[in-house]
Structure 1
């Protein structure tokens, strides 16, 4: 209806805008997207010409009746792609962060958390992606949403192990604790990773409190009470420096 009853074809039929990649209509906004590797005289000409053509196109669009189908599909698309995953992630993360404040944290080797996250999340993300394709079909608008989905998935690979898998692994652990002693090989302060010591037993960095970090020296013995973890990721619910 839009193509047949407006002048929107002016933007493509003359070949004056070869870098035009898409035309988006949202509410009362008309957006033209031109792809270019650099700004040059030709691009400047196309932008100026696009503005001139839009002055002819916009009045022809204003006479068209509003569509109730488009907004409905957009809402469905947003719910499937973004709102539902966010509605699952945010409450679980909030609960996980609360449990971490209660001491359910302390993964002995965080690399194992990320590996577990990759194994668990990959089929979930693939299922979400293909389900969206199945439910939305051509209305998915894959080119427009592929980059946001990629960012969403990669962010999930980082945040979900830290805010969900780590506290849930500790909270639902029913195993008996075991005491171990290991030497500190190295200590360092990561900007976002907190105060850390590298342990001889695992070779991994372990996050400790600032007080323990300040007292610890390379070669000191760290005593840990380790549990197996509900997901098989060992964690320390208590630790201290041996005198």
Structure 2
């Protein structure tokens, strides 16, 4: 009795023939994100993506008409992982309002996404700015809508909620870009001035910056995020009128 031939695998990287099995937009975005995570945005192309999926690149255009659409889809896929708790009751707990605690959670989640997908961060920061608000992919707008819902339910006006969102994400974008930049020039050095390359700066022109070498070398992204959020929320609480806002915490 003859054996039936073993089924041919169609998984990514299996070497199956192009066109084997169904291909979905979700799968295309998964592999596009893998390419960007590994090699950067510049490495993503329809040709490269088709090869990674074992498909003729021309078949991918049915799901994404061009690279720009792919990049928008990848940004949506990453932002879809950002959780915003905009439901339930609002209470003042300890030294800060519940709305502050929930926004802290959003900020921490955004930082985690940035550290998990550092090559995607430029897409999250810059691509939306090149597109009018109403023309942006819906997935990139959902965090905005959820945060507006959170803040208006907490008692802020629509305009105040938008102000808080802009302040929060302006800070977050700056923070993650700063945290992801290369800080150390010579990691093998033990002297902070040499490790950071600050010895190259003229002493007379940059005495304060050179003097901060130990502080710069001890950079802690998580601690810097929390310190920045303390300052941001203290300022917002001090300037926005809200009946449930506690007194700002001095940091």
TM bucket (normalised to shorter chain) is under 0.3
More helix by share: 2
Report the structure number with the largest CA radius of gyration: 1
Taking structure 2 as the reference length, the TM-score comes to: 0.24
Taking structure 1 as the reference length, the TM-score comes to: 0.25
More strand by share: 1
